[in-house]
Amino acid sequence: MSDLDEEYQLEYFHDEGFVRKECPSCGSHFWTRDEDRQLCGEPPCADYEFIDAPGFDEEYSLEEMREAFLSFFEEHGHERIDPYPVAANRWRDDVLLTQASIYDFQPLVTSGKTPPPANPLTVSQPCIRMQDIDNVGKTGRHTMAFEMMAHHAFNAREDLEDPGQYAYEGEVYWKDETVEYCDTLLEELGADIEDVTYIEDPWVGGGNAGPAIEVIYRGLELATLVFMCMEQDPDGEYELKDGNTYSYMDTYIVDTGYGLERWTWMSQGTPTVYEAVYPEMISFLKDNAGLEYTDDEEALVNRAARLSGQLDIDDVDDVEAARDNIADKLDVSTSRLRELVEPLEDIYAIADHCRTLAYMFGDGIVPSNVGTGYLARMVLRRTKRLCDTAGVDAPLDELVDMQADRLGYENRDTVRDIVRTEVEKYRETLERGGRQVERLASDYAAKGEPIPLEEVLELYDSHGIQPDMVEDIAADHGADVEIPDDFYSLVAARHGGEEAFEEEEGAETDDDRIADLPDTEKLYYEDPERTDFEAVVLDVIEREVDGETRYDVALDQTMFYPEGGGQPADTGTLATDEVTVEVTDVQEVDGVVLHRTDESPGKGEFVRGQIDATRRKRLMQHHTATHIVGYAAREVLGEHVRQAGAQKGTESSRFDIRHYERISREEVKRIERVANDLVTDNVAVKQEWPDRHEAEEEHGFDLYQGGIPPGQNLRLIRVAEDVQACAGTHVTRTGDIGTIKILSTERVQDGVERLTFAAGDAAIEATQRTEDALYEAADTFDVSPQEVPDTATRFFSEWKERGKQIEDLKEQLAEVRAQGGGDDATEVDLDDATAVVQRVDADMDELRATANALADEGKVAVIGSGLDGATFVVAVPDGVDLNAGSVVGELAAKVGGGGGGPPDFAQGGGPDVEALDDALDEAPDVLRQLREA
């Protein structure tokens, strides 16, 4: 027995009479009170045994089961805390969605850098696991959206030399108590604990690991008890199932997960978890889709539900083969089984996906092409396709709203608006994408090859084309395509369904020297309006930058703000009695502020620092204005608006927000009014340093609009009702900004709108530049500034009309040429057709018109031009066996270029205008040779 196996030798197991066994079906080791038990009890080794025979004494709703769990752990010394949002990237920069309750406490609490909000604690945390999307509806137990009820305890080894290095000390409780809690809860709810098995299954994830126990009761996994006590270590002595080696940590954490939906299902014994979790919605969807069963069919469906755990794509290689096996056990054909259960599977998935969308949009996720926005869009489009397939004709926004109402969200109007907007975008995308699928299917059918999976994934990414739609179109065009059972999991993995971002590389550092320096005292927080100070040079690091020598100067204290949070660094000078050096950049590395200079002031010297005061003032105005513009945007556009990026400047700043529609001109004016009202109110801009947990509890995770700062205490900037964690420099009162002017808006990517604005003197200068342009236009038109819009509209209309007249004249000229030829036109007899070879020195529009006019007359047109290089256009009428692309290719080669196109129309050319006439002279021979070929 290895040391890791020893981790499962719990005193509680031995004291309670458990025996350790090995499942002959799957090979897992498990603990049971039943000495005669052979199988571990988890599908596919066993079936669901509680359907129509609930495993608890009483039937619970979701709300009742949640309260029963939380109350139980409160009674056992745990503090109840509020759940976090489903968008984990609101407080973490390494993941997108909340997939487990432990995500609430990573990485700061689990690493021991900050204390937990309570220890021990209990929570019921809404989660979304995109990797389960392909199992939803099929297995009877998988939901993509779910609540993970949990209790956690954070422990640190008691034999540490420096116990104060972590934010918590000693042991609260560990494995024995954790298993006992689970056993006791099950028994209090009326479970037959003789039927409970505890399966050994070591857990790994995010660089951590530890022994874990899956709690199985009557065929259903109800909980996982993870004992996080190891960390990845190349020199570690324990190699675990991910192939990496691990060693023990100083901290060790009880990380449990109890599935609220599954506990509720166990109490009710319904055919699937979906009837227990979404009873009203399942009934509504079945009625809406006209889904009805006879008593015999209902009985068969219920029997199939008991076996549906065997359809888990994580446990079987071929889902359809597993379905064949279920059909055999039920003594029914697979086709008949599919006919009965697949419409239900779609209904179940629709209900689950609508709940997922309600969580996402209710928590402020906005659909886009990246990150959480992409995942939300993926779920929405799959849900719409499922509705169409199942025959559900209720508007999708109403279905999502049913779940948002049930979950208690107050922003339901915004949620419905987002869904309606996305459904319309999806319709437009499908129209474009469907044609691309047809072309792709035809190409691969002609090659006799199946459409590759990568192409299908790209079609989904680019156009939202669902895989079953690709299958249908491919079949119509004689092409093969194979869609894997885990298609949507593959899509989610492509877009960070589990992880979000890689860590960015830090600034160039000399690690050892900087690590030995004390943190720089930051004077700019004490008095942001002060621009001079005195300090001691602690070190000077020489560097080569773009072939020149530069110096990074570390001081004991500084007024220079280092670049960060979208705010550029201060510039200025450092002066000794002997030398004055220019500070051109400032960066912070591990708490040390480094001042980039053109000369060395000398290590150990006493320096006087002077900041560029005008630059600092403008940066402060723009940074505070960014907070105000963000606040105003939320007031006007809705609470879903969150920062997607920001860059402060001295002349203007840009502020990117997540929003599902283009921002109208009227909305821009309203945002501007709200922002400037706050400026003229001249409210104080306050900074506070509260405890992290207290700040999050009071203000939520909207604190982290500009990123997630480390540390137990946060620096908060409060401007009226707007409160954000921020490390930047700010004015002391909003009136110091002067004014805010929004200069432009643009869509930088789908779901992200950019507001560019100016503040203070820069706003006045920007307004004056706009007025200068208006007055210049007025002078050009010889009208007043107020008349410019109408005059410009009139001029534009006249310009377009003249353009149309010119095009009409070109077409008329082309028709005249086609009918009367020209002095330089050559007619070539091609037996069944006549070709006209002609030089017309005109632009491409005129060349095309001439060629098309000749083709309309039934003639092959070969037109050359020397207007802009040597250019050819070839048009071939219907019924003539000649490839226009081949003709252009031959002629373009003679002028040093190339070209091509479809058989009926092509264009091309080259740079050698001198060879144009010779090429046209050879055109008749080229035409005859290609006809003979």
Amino acid at 336: R
Classify strands 79-80 and 121-128 as parallel, antiparallel or unpaired.
parallel
Residue 134: other Cβ atoms inside 10 A = 25
pLDDT at residue 507, as a whole number: 39
What confidence tens digit (pLDDT) does each residue in 521-540 have?
999 988 888 899 999 999 99
- The answer to whether residues 870 and 844 touch, using CB atoms and an 8 Å cutoff, is no
Angle at 631 (CA atoms; ends 629, 633), nearest 5 degrees: 65
The whole-number average pLDDT for the span 901-907 is 88
- Mean residue pLDDT of the chain comes to 86
How many whole angstroms separate alpha carbon 676 and alpha carbon 669?
11
pLDDT at residue 574, as a whole number: 95
- The answer to whether residues 688 and 715 touch, using CB atoms and an 8 Å cutoff, is yes
pLDDT of residue 810 exceeding 70: no
- The answer to whether residues 839 and 869 touch, using CB atoms and an 8 Å cutoff, is no
pLDDT band at 817 (very low <50, low <70, confident <90, very high): low
Rg over CA atoms, the chain: 35
> What does the block give as tokens for 467?
């895989």
Strand, coil or helix: 853: helix
> 785 or 256, which is more confident?
256
* Lowest-confidence segment of 13-22, 197-206, 375-384, 481-490 by average pLDDT: 481-490
How many whole angstroms separate alpha carbon 685 and alpha carbon 337?
66
The alpha carbon of residue 746 and the mean position of all alpha carbons in its chain are separated, in whole angstroms, by: 20
- The answer to whether residues 246 and 240 touch, using CB atoms and an 8 Å cutoff, is yes
* Lowest-confidence segment of 43-57, 211-225, 473-487, 624-638 by average pLDDT: 473-487
pLDDT of residue 374 exceeding 50: yes
Residue 148's closest CA among 94, 223, 209?
223
How many whole angstroms separate alpha carbon 518 and alpha carbon 531?
23
Residues in the chain: 933
How many whole angstroms separate alpha carbon 342 and alpha carbon 339?
6
The whole-number average pLDDT for the span 449-466 is 72
How many whole angstroms separate alpha carbon 305 and alpha carbon 141?
10
pLDDT band at 508 (very low <50, low <70, confident <90, very high): very low
Residue 712 half-sphere exposure toward CB, CA atoms < 13 A: 11
How many whole angstroms separate alpha carbon 52 and alpha carbon 50?
6
The whole-number average pLDDT for the span 327-351 is 85
pLDDT of residue 502 exceeding 60: no
pLDDT at residue 500, as a whole number: 41
What confidence tens digit (pLDDT) does each residue in 579-611 have?
999 999 999 988 899 999 999 999 999 999 999
Which residue do the tokens 């900004």 mark? 737
* Lowest-confidence segment of 380-389, 390-399, 471-480, 624-633 by average pLDDT: 471-480
Amino acid at 82: D
- The answer to whether residues 144 and 356 touch, using CB atoms and an 8 Å cutoff, is yes
Q: What's the N-to-C CA distance of the chain in angstroms?
A: 79
pLDDT of residue 505 exceeding 50: no
- The answer to whether residues 696 and 689 touch, using CB atoms and an 8 Å cutoff, is no
pLDDT at residue 503, as a whole number: 36
pLDDT band at 188 (very low <50, low <70, confident <90, very high): very high
Orientation of helix 761-781 relative to helix 613-637, angle to 10°: 80
How many whole angstroms separate alpha carbon 805 and alpha carbon 466?
46
pLDDT of residue 913 exceeding 80: yes
Angle at 27 (CA atoms; ends 24, 29), nearest 5 degrees: 105
What confidence tens digit (pLDDT) does each residue in 687-715 have?
999 988 888 888 888 888 877 777 788 88
> 443 or 466, which is more confident?
443
How many whole angstroms separate alpha carbon 554 and alpha carbon 536?
9
> What does the block give as tokens for 44?
């596919």
**Range of 43-52, 72-81, 138-147 with top mean pLDDT:** 72-81
What confidence tens digit (pLDDT) does each residue in 646-684 have?
889 889 999 998 898 899 999 999 999 999 999 999 999
CA-to-CA dists, residue 433 to 379, 463, 749, angstroms:
18, 5, 19
Strand, coil or helix: 554: strand
List 128's β-bridge partners, or say none. Answer: 145
How many whole angstroms separate alpha carbon 916 and alpha carbon 922?
10
> 503 or 851, which is more confident?
851
pLDDT band at 48 (very low <50, low <70, confident <90, very high): confident
How many whole angstroms separate alpha carbon 785 and alpha carbon 663?
26
pLDDT of residue 458 exceeding 80: no
CA-to-CA dists, residue 661 to 417, 463, 634, 658, 751, angstroms:
10, 19, 14, 9, 7
The secondary structure of residue 505, as a DSSP letter, is P
pLDDT at residue 506, as a whole number: 38
pLDDT of residue 823 exceeding 70: no
Dihedral pair phi/psi, residue 397, rounded to 5°: -65, -30
How many whole angstroms separate alpha carbon 743 and alpha carbon 728?
23
The whole-number average pLDDT for the span 355-360 is 95
pLDDT at residue 489, as a whole number: 67
Burial class from Cβ neighbours inside 10 Å (0-12, 13-18, 19+) for residue 161 reads exposed
- The answer to whether residues 345 and 638 touch, using CB atoms and an 8 Å cutoff, is no
pLDDT at residue 504, as a whole number: 36
List 156's β-bridge partners, or say none. Answer: 251
How many whole angstroms separate alpha carbon 834 and alpha carbon 456?
46
> What does the block give as tokens for 747?
């869509």
> What does the block give as tokens for 382?
């799959």
> What does the block give as tokens for 617?
């003032």
pLDDT band at 340 (very low <50, low <70, confident <90, very high): confident
pLDDT at residue 849, as a whole number: 86
> What does the block give as tokens for 897?
């270029």
pLDDT of residue 717 exceeding 60: yes
List 658's β-bridge partners, or say none. Answer: 752
pLDDT at residue 554, as a whole number: 94
- The answer to whether residues 740 and 633 touch, using CB atoms and an 8 Å cutoff, is no
